[in-house]
Amino acid sequence: MLTPEELTRCIEELCRSKAREFALLGYENVTGEEVWACVSGRYKNGLPPLYQLVNDILSLKAPQFMDWAMVRAMKGKIESGDPGI
């Protein structure tokens, strides 16, 4: 059985691995932290079972991530009052 710290390290490594996968596809600036933010943002009522969490990380597609990143960027512009042009 994994300790909570070991489990956290494993999930962090999964997210870094997904970020490296995206880098191979041409998205070089994606970080593991951003992958985690994208995936974990779906969980409004706490974390799901581990198998679902791992599946959500490993099945994340680049277009899904880029949609999330675009929305995040647009929300930042709106909240900062930047018209974006």
CA–CA distance, 39 with 17 (Å, rounded to integer): 14
Question: Is 4's pLDDT higher than 70?
Answer: yes
- Count of the separate structural domains present in the chain: 1
DSSP 46: S
- Residue with token string 């099945």: 59
* 41 is a domain residue: yes
* 18 is a domain residue: yes
CA–CA distance, 64 with 49 (Å, rounded to integer): 21
Model confidence over 47-63: pLDDT tens digits? 999 999 999 999 999 99
The domain in which residue 56 lies consists of 4-79
Model confidence over 7-43: pLDDT tens digits? 999 999 999 999 999 999 999 999 999 999 999 999 9
Considering only CA atoms, which of 13, 32, 14 is closest in space to residue 23? 32
* 75 is a domain residue: yes
Q: Please name the residues in contact with 42: beta carbons below 8 A apart, sequence gap of 6 or more.
A: 56
